[in-house]
Amino acid sequence: MLTLTRNSYQAKAQSQFIEMQAQLAMLAARGKRAAEAAQADGERVLLAAQSKHDAALHRFELLKLAGDDSWDAVKTEFETAWTELRHALGAR
């Protein structure tokens, strides 16, 4: 009778290990999908921020070349681009 109880206990434990392995595999797959989604989102944010940087840099170059007659308008455009870049980078 002890052997039957022992075998039954071991069989149950083995069955639970198999179940846990399946759960671990599902958790790993879910984690991988989440990491891939986070990476894709990070790349999207990075590209958007890079675009804002490029626009601000372009506006800055125009600001450096602006004459007295266009200074105020170009300065306003630069400040807008600069603000957009700061927001894209999470700065306040």
Nearest-5° angle of CA 32, CA 35, CA 41?
A: 140
What gap in Å lies between CA 50 and CA 34, rounded to an integer?
24
Give SS3 for 84.
helix
Alpha helices, H only, 1-92: 2-65, 71-88
Determine the pLDDT at residue 1: 63
Determine the pLDDT at residue 12: 94
Q: What is the mean pLDDT of each run of 10 residues along the chain (92 residues)?
A: 84 96 97 96 94 97 96 97 94 60
Determine the pLDDT at residue 5: 92
State the first-to-last Cα distance of the chain, in angstroms, to the nearest integer. Answer: 73
Q: How many domains does the chain have?
A: 1
Give this prediction's pTM: 0.68
Domain of 51, in residue numbers: 2-88
Determine the pLDDT at residue 73: 97
Determine the pLDDT at residue 3: 79
Using a 10 angstrom Cβ sphere, with 0-12 exposed, 13-18 middle and 19 or more buried, the burial of residue 85 is: buried
